Amino acid sequence: MTAETSTPATENADPRALTLDNVERTLDELRPYLMADGGNVEVVEIDGPIVKVRLQGACGSCPSSTMTLKMGIERKLREAIPEVAEVVQVL
């Protein structure tokens, strides 16, 4: 089935593929926890297997932001989307 048909393309899309929609969907699962601490995360760019994000609010200046990025965000994205090799923070 092609994108020109009446069926939405996302309906047949692989939920484990490295796409912006899938990254955002996975991050949406984490956002309530980040927001509870006064922060958030924004996808800046997907560069091959590397997802570049910007930590916002309290998360951007938190001393534990590296732990949040690697053990929280990167771990969750790699579990949900195996193609993700690394998540890096950009300022």
Helix runs in 37-74, H state only:
58-61, 65-67
Considering only residues 1 and 28, tell me which one the structure prediction assigns the higher pLDDT: 28
Burial 18-39 (b: 16+ CB within 10 A, else e): bbeebbeebbeebeeebeeeeb
- Separation of CA 90 from chain center: 13
Is the per-residue pLDDT at 18 higher than 50? yes
pLDDT for residue 91: 86
- Separation of CA 66 from chain center: 15
Q: pLDDT tens digit string along 64-89?
A: 888 999 999 999 999 999 999 999 99
Confidence of residue 62 (pLDDT cuts 50, 70, 90): confident
Single-letter amino acid, residue 87: V
pTM exceeds 0.95 for this model: no
Q: pLDDT tens digit string along 26-55?
A: 999 999 999 999 999 999 999 999 999 999
